[in-house]
Amino acid sequence: MRSLILFITLCFAFGCLSAFEIPFSRDAVHTEENTSGEFLRIDPLDFQPEVLKTKAWFWQDDKALYVKFESVIDETFHIGQNRGRDGFYQSDFVRIQLVTIPEAYYAYMYVAQPNGALYDGVRSYTSGVDTAWNSSYSYETAHNDSLWQVLMKIPLGELRYHQKLPYNWKIILTRYNDQSETYYSFPPRDTNEGKGYYTQAQEIVLNHKVPRLLDLQLKPYFVKSYDLVNKTNSFDPENVGLDIAFNPGSRTKIKISLNPDYSDAPLDGAMDIYNTRYPPYFNENRFFFTEDLDAFGVDSNVFYSRNIVKPQLAYKLTGNVKSMNYGILGAWDKEQRSGDYVITSDDYYQVLSIIPSTRNLTFCNALVSKMNRDYYNHVYSGDLRLKLYKDFYLNADHKASTRFCKDEEKNTKNGYNSSVEFEYDAKNWNLSVDANKVSEDFLADMGYYTDTNCTRWGTNVTWDSDTKDKFLKNWGISYWNGFFRIDNQEKNSETSHCANIYFALKPKFNFSVYASISRVLDLKNSNHVVHELTFNTGFWAWEKFKIYSSLTHSKAIVYSHDDTRDRNNISLTLDGTLFEKLSYSVNVMHTEYKCPKHNLEMSSFEPREVYLDNQYQIINANIYFNPDSSIHISNGLGISTYEEDSIYQNLSNYGSLGYEFKRDCFLYIGYQTKQLQDEKAKMSNLLGHYIRSSASAYLKVAITI
C-alpha cells in the first residue's frame, strides 16, 4: 500500500512539471497559475511530501524575477547565526536555483535564511558550487510562530541567457529543515542525477523581454598601510587600484583589476608543514582568483594561482555559446627583489579554456602558460568525461608541456602526463580503475606538480547506503589501493592499501574509521613500510557547542631521518555561537613522535646529528561578530609550537573590520602580525620573549560606481 501511495504521489508530482508562464506585473501576483507544486523530500530520498507545507509564487517586472515563499513552521524552526556573506550557515533556509541555459549544465543559486544573511553562487556541471560569484539579489524575511515568509528579488540583467523571446528557463526550489537535516524540493531533483539535475528541472517561460544590462561596475580603492615594526607608513601609486566589471553580452562577463590589492583577504592559518615530502600547499584566498576559477576546467596541478604573488594587472573573461563554456584569464606578476636576489619575476600568466558539453560528454580544453623574456612554459590540458552506457564512464586526461629557457643547457623540454580511468558510478556503488604515466620532461611551472618520470595505477570500490529517516541515517564503506613507481628504477616503488567506514546518526553525530598500510619512498628512494589507524567523530546537535575530534596512531616516515617512527596525533575542533551575533571556532592539533629530539644518524662518511621536534601543537582560533548584515568583525590567532633553529613558537594574529556603508561600497580596517618566540616561557616571564618578524595595519576604501 505504501509503495502504491508513493507511486501515485510521484506520478502527480512529475505530471505537474509542464512549463508554466511567469506573469508580468509590478505588483505581487498570487494565483494558482503561478504557484509551485508540492515539495517532496529528496534527502532522505523517499519523495515523502512535507508535513510543514511550503508554497511559492513567481512573477517578473522589467528588471527582476520575484519569488515569494510561505512556509509553515513549528518549534523546530532554526533562525541561525549570520556569519557574513557566503559564510557557513546552520539554519533553516529556502533556496532558488535558476537554470537559464539548460544545455550548459549550470545553475545560479540564491539562498534566503531567517537571519537575513546572503548566500549565493553558481552550481557547475560537476555539482560543485562557486560561492565567490556574488549577485545583487536581495530578499525580505519575516516570521511568527506558525509561518515564515520570504520575498526574493533576483535581478535578471546580470545573468547569462539566450536573448530570443520567449526565455525557456528551468528552476529548482528547495526547503531545508536544520533540526532534522532534511531537504525538500520542487521538483524533486537530486544532484546525483548528474546533468539530468539541470535538464529535468521545472520549466518556466518568461515572455517579457529583460533589458540587457552592461552592468558596468567601477570600484576604485586606495590603501593606507603602516609598518608597525619599522614605524613607517606608505602611500604611493602602488596603494591605489581599480576593479572594473561589466557584461558586454547576456552570456559574457569581464573583470579587470589594475594593481589588485589583497590586504583584506583572510590570513592563512597555522599549518603542519613539517616533515613533508612536498612543498606546503595553501588554498587560494584572494577573491579575484577564487571567483569563477573552476569555470576554466583546470586543477591546481596545472594552474596554482598562489604562484602569482603580487599581480600588477589581472583580467578575466568567462562566457557561454550554446553548449560550450569558455574563459580567458591573464595576470602580470610584479618583480620583487631582496638586494640583487630576485624573489619573484615579472612573469605573465595566462589560461585559455574551451569546454563543450553534451548530455553524455564533457571535454575540458585549456592552455595554461607562463612567459617572460627568454622563457616560456605552455601546458595543454585535455580532460574528457564520456558516458559509455548507463552508469559506465570513461575519464581520460592528457597534458602536454613545452618549456624553453635560454639559460638552461637543454633549452627546450617537451613532456606529457596522461591518465585514463574506467568508472562505474551507480546509485550506491562507485568502482573505478585508473592508470597514469608522466614523462621525465613534463613541466608545469605555473602549477603545483612535483613528480615526473613515473607511473601510477589504482583501483577504488565505494558503497554508500541510502539515507533513511531512522536513528542510523546512512553508512558507507570504501577501499582503494595505489601503485607508484619511478621509471627505470623498478625496485623503488610505492604501494598503498586504504579502507574507510563511516556511520551517520540522526542525533547529528557521526564517526568513521580509516586504516591504511603502505610502502613508501624516502628522499633517497629507499622503501619503508608504514601504517595508519584513525578514528573520527563529530557531534553538532548544540548550536553553542559543536565538537569534532580525530585520533591517529601510525608508523610514519620521517624524511629528515630517512626512517620510520611511531607517531600519534590528536585533533580537536570546537565551533559554535556564544551569543546571537557572536560565534567562534577553535582547532587544536597535538603531534608526538616516539623518538628523541636529538638523533645520531650514520651516513656513508661520518655520523651526523639530526634534530626533530618530537612533540608540538598547531592551534587556530577565530572569533566573529556580526552586529548586522553590513558589519563583519573577525579576529584570528594561529600558533605553531614546532621548535626549529632556536625558535620555539610561530605566532600569527589578525583582526579585521569590514563595513558595507552603502551597497557594494566597503571600508576595511585591520592589522596582521607575525612573531617568533626566541625565549621559552618561565616563571619570571610567563609569555617568554617574542620577535616581531612582521606587523602592519591597513585601511582600505573600495567604492562601487
Q: pLDDT tens-digit profile of 568-625? A: 999 999 998 887 788 899 999 999 999 888 777 666 666 777 788 899 999 999 999 9
% of the chain residues with pLDDT over 90 = 50
* Rounded Cα–Cα distance for residues 657 and 273 (Å): 29
Task: Give the pLDDT confidence of 27-43 residue by residue, as tens digits.
Answer: 999 998 899 989 999 99
Q: Which residue has the cell 515568509?
A: 149
Rounded mean pLDDT, 268-297: 82
3-state SS class at 244:
strand
Give pLDDT, residue 238. Answer: 65
What lies within 8 Å, CB to CB, of 534 at 6+ separation is: 513, 514, 515, 550, 551, 552
Q: Is pLDDT of 508 > 70?
A: yes
Grid coordinates representing 436 are 597514469
Q: How confident is the model at residue 194 (pLDDT cuts 50, 70, 90)?
A: confident
Q: What is the pTM of this model?
A: 0.85
* Rounded Cα–Cα distance for residues 414 and 330 (Å): 23
- The domain defined by 279-449 carries CATH number 2.40.160: yes
Among candidates 103, 108, 183, 114, which has minimal Cα distance to 143? Answer: 114
- Kind and range of the H or E element at 461? strand 454-464
- CATH classification code of 2-206: 2.60.40.1190
Q: Which residues pair with 289 in a beta bridge?
A: none
* Distance set, CA 438 to CA 151, 419, 632 (Å): 54, 9, 47
Q: Is pLDDT of 113 > 80?
A: yes
Q: Is pLDDT of 88 > 70?
A: no
Among candidates 581, 672, 590, which has minimal Cα distance to 627? Answer: 581
Task: Give the pLDDT confidence of 347-401 residue by residue, as tens digits.
Answer: 999 999 999 988 899 999 999 999 999 999 999 999 999 999 889 999 999 999 9
| Mean pLDDT value across the chain | 88
Give pLDDT, residue 353. Answer: 95
Hey, where are the domains in the chain?
2-206, 279-449
Give pLDDT, residue 132. Answer: 75
